[in-house]
Amino acid sequence: MADQDGLKVAKDYHVEEAFANNGGFYVKGAGSLDWGMKKHLANIFDPKSGNTVMFAFDHGYFMGSTAGLERLDLVIPRLMPHIDCLMGTRGALRTCVSPDNRKAIALRVSSGSSMLNEDLSHEVVAVDIEDSIRMNADCMAVQTFIGADGQLSSIDNLSRVINAGLRYSIPTLGVVAVGKDMERTDRFFKLATRIVAEMGVQLVKTYYCDNFEEVVAACPVPIVVAGGKKLPENEALTLAYRSIQGGARGLDMGRNIFQSEHSAEMAQAIRQIVHEAYTDKQAWEFFQDAIH
Ligand code: R5P
């Protein structure tokens, strides 16, 4: 481990320069991966825009029944046409999502805490690789708690899943968790996303922050931005727009879609930003037209 005395602050991110090692494949950092990995990533990231609209409905894994997700069997089919990738637990997917859908699957494989726990950072790998294969998962999502009490065990979980994923060509999605007391700064997200990427994940989910383009530049795999708590729709569209402008390759929103009174229209508006280069203003106008 490097001696930290006299450590220089990283600053040369070359944010204007494109990633230099794509090897002819459009997904960042995936140039040297095998066909199976690339196929899964191509299921997630649209080959034309290079981006993805993920819909997160994995909240039940620690929150139980969540406002807006009381009836997964009703909510998911309504939103499905506007989504590229479904992010959920195997319980939700197997029971409430028809297997004849053509969407990519981001399977939540870590678990272990609930809202009743003060510290949520202790998880285990709850889904083994055989079941991820049976579910035809396009990636396996693992929560990673950098700087939290459970950091070591979450890195252990992440490594196990990455190792198994590499054996069977299934990408791993490292989800950067933010605890109640943890800073949401570019300093933290640069640290956390880079650690997770260097552990070997093929894609990262994290939060938007100031200097986001530097977080993206320093992370050698694609970043999808998490939605977080419910915002007014126009603010959520601005978050989506800034994320894509900053170099995110997609959004993985939950509450900002399913807790909207107009969830399908919200998903469509997000889609315009992610795939059609709409600005937040254009997407807001699209949303308003769609609901009236
Ligand atoms: C994030 O860490 C987890 O995957 C969540 O369960 C979920 O994705 C959160 O979605 P949102 O914050 O957009 O409601």
Confidence (pTM): 0.95
Among protein residues, the one with the nearest Cα to ligand 1's atom 6 is 59
Q: How many whole angstroms separate alpha carbon 234 and alpha carbon 248?
A: 19
153-156: Cβ within 8 A, 24+ apart: 153/122, 153/123, 153/124, 154/110, 154/121, 154/123, 155/195, 155/199
pLDDT of residue 22: 82
* Cα 205 to Cα 53, 96, 189, 208, 243, distances in angstroms: 12, 24, 10, 10, 12
| pLDDT confidence of residue 139 | 98
Distance from Cα 58 to the centre of ligand 1, integer Å? 7
- Residue 97 is predicted with a pLDDT of 97
Distance between CA atoms of residues 88 and 181, nearest Å: 26
Q: Give the model's pLDDT for residue 6.
A: 75
Give the model's pLDDT for residue 263: 98
pLDDT of residue 158: 98
pLDDT for 153: 96
Q: Are 59 and 252 in contact (CB under 8 A)?
A: no
Residue 115 alpha carbon to ligand 1 centre in Å? 13
Q: What is the mean pLDDT of each run of 10 residues along the chain (292 residues)?
A: 76 90 91 97 98 96 91 97 98 97 97 87 94 98 93 96 98 90 87 97 97 97 96 98 98 97 98 98 98 94
Ligand 1-lining residues (CB < 6 angstroms): 56, 58-59, 175, 177, 226-228, 253-256
Residue showing tokens 């053509």: 102
Q: Which of 53, 54, 55, 58 to mutate to test the pocket of ligand 1 (most atoms within 8 A of CB)?
A: 58
Q: Which atom of ligand 1 is nearest to the CA of 226?
A: 13
Domains of the chain: 35-291 (3.20.20.70)
CA of 186 to the centre of ligand 1 (A): 19
Catalytic residue among 103, 205, 229, 281: 205
Report pLDDT for 83.
98
Question: Which residues, other chains included, contact 19 with Cβ-Cβ below 8 Å and sequence gap of 6+?
Answer: 28, 29, 220
94, 282 Cβ separation under 8 angstroms: no
pLDDT at residue 115 in the model: 87
DSSP secondary structure, 34-59, as one string? -HHHHHHHHHHS-TTTS-EEEEE--T
Q: Which residue is associated with the tokens 């509450």?
A: 255
28 catalytically annotated: no
Residue nearest atom 8 in ligand 1 by C-alpha distance: 56
Cα(288) to ligand 1 centroid in Å equals: 25
